[in-house]
């Protein structure tokens, strides 16, 4: 049996084990995927053991979620070109005798946009957050040839993504730079965004893409205002599929209809 894990801090509610379980059953692969919670305090020590487990093949692949997508990067890992340009890793595996760090988040994001048939070049993009997931989103936006990107964060910082510099705005400045045709991409917790987007700000918002994949009352409020809400579930599924393709070393994404995975999750009352 092949063993895979999701490592992170707050992962108790993650849907990833259910998604991967469906994929392995579909592929008729003897594999298991579980959450492995690691505290921030113990991360540096625990990651050494995880690297060792990958090398000796007692585990066969890792997904990494917040807050470790940037912190996981070290001299022990060979970083793929995409992950290097993003400066964040969410997928680890062994190739020959090397540990490889990859990023499948950006692929999941791009595929979800393609799946929803949206031309993002028509919109003014406002990204909220500047962590590992947000950087993958911005890289995906570059791949989609999007030019109008503003990034808002709790602290001002400079991001270097694919050799392009971005300076973030303070999140409190969100409403001071309003324009038409706004497409918001939220990369922070949903409960923290509600205090930023008041009724006046929402008048110019056409889409709200939320990396959080559990629908809540705020999403319902947005839909009442005729704002199209896209949750992060499609992105989560597509990045999971890509991770499994990397781990198993064969392509199968074109054989999967993600509606079947979403129905599976819905029947389990998970989304």
Dihedral over alpha carbons 7, 8, 9, 15 (to 10 degrees): -90
Three-state secondary-structure class, residue 81: helix
Q: At what angle do helices 233-248 and 258-267 cross, to 10 degrees?
A: 120
Task: Please state, in angstroms and rounded to a whole number, the distance separating the CA atoms of residues 143 and 113.
Answer: 12
Task: Please state, in angstroms and rounded to a whole number, the distance separating the CA atoms of residues 146 and 102.
Answer: 23
List for the chain the helix, strand, coil content (%; round to 5): 40, 25, 35
Name the β-bridge partners of 160: 165
Beta strands 158-161 and 164-167 are antiparallel
* Structure-token match 């309003």, residue found: 178
Task: Please state, in angstroms and rounded to a whole number, the distance separating the CA atoms of residues 207 and 228.
Answer: 5
Q: Which of 47, 69, 94, 126 is catalytic?
A: 69
Using only C-alpha atoms, the chain has a radius of gyration, in whole angstroms, of: 18
| Residues near 235 by beta carbon (within 8 Å), at least 6 away in sequence | 105, 108, 109, 111, 112, 211
Beta strands 91-95 and 61-64 are antiparallel
Task: Please state, in angstroms and rounded to a whole number, the distance separating the CA atoms of residues 86 and 78.
Answer: 14
69 as an active site residue: the answer is yes
Task: Please state, in angstroms and rounded to a whole number, the distance separating the CA atoms of residues 210 and 115.
Answer: 16
Nearest C-alpha neighbor of 63 from the set 136, 7, 132 = 7
Q: Which residues are catalytic?
A: 69
């Amino acid at each position: 049996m092949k063993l895979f894990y999701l490592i992170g801090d707050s992962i108790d509610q993650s849907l990833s084990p259910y998604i991967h379980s469906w994929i392995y059953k579909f592929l008729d692969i003897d594999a298991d995927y579980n959450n492995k919670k690691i505290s921030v305090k113990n991360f540096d020590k625990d990651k050494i053991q995880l690297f060792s487990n990958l090398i000796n093949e007692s585990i066969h692949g890792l997904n990494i979620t917040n807050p470790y997508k940037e912190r996981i990067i070290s001299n022990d890992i060979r970083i793929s070109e995409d992950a290097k340009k993003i400066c964040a890793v969410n997928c680890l595996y062994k190739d020959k005798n090397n540990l490889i760090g990859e990023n499948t988040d950006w692929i999941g994001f791009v595929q979800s946009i393609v799946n929803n048939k949206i031309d993002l070049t028509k919109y003014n993009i406002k990204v909220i957050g500047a962590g590992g997931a947000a950087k993958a989103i911005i890289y995906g936006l570059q791949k989609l040839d999007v030019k109008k990107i503003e990034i808002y964060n709790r602290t001002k910082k400079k991001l270097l993504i694919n050799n392009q510099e971005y300076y973030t705005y303070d999140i409190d400045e969100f409403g001071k730079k309003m324009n038409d045709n706004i497409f918001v991409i939220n990369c922070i917790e949903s409960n923290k965004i509600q205090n930023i987007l008041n009724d006046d700000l929402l008048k110019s918002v056409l889409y709200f893409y939320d990396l959080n994949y559990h629908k809540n009352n705020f999403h319902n409020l947005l839909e009442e205002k005729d704002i199209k809400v896209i949750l992060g579930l499609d992105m989560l599924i597509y990045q999971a599929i890509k991770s499994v393709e990397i781990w198993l070393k064969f392509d199968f994404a074109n054989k999967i209809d993600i509606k079947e995975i979403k129905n599976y999750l819905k029947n389990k009352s998970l989304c």
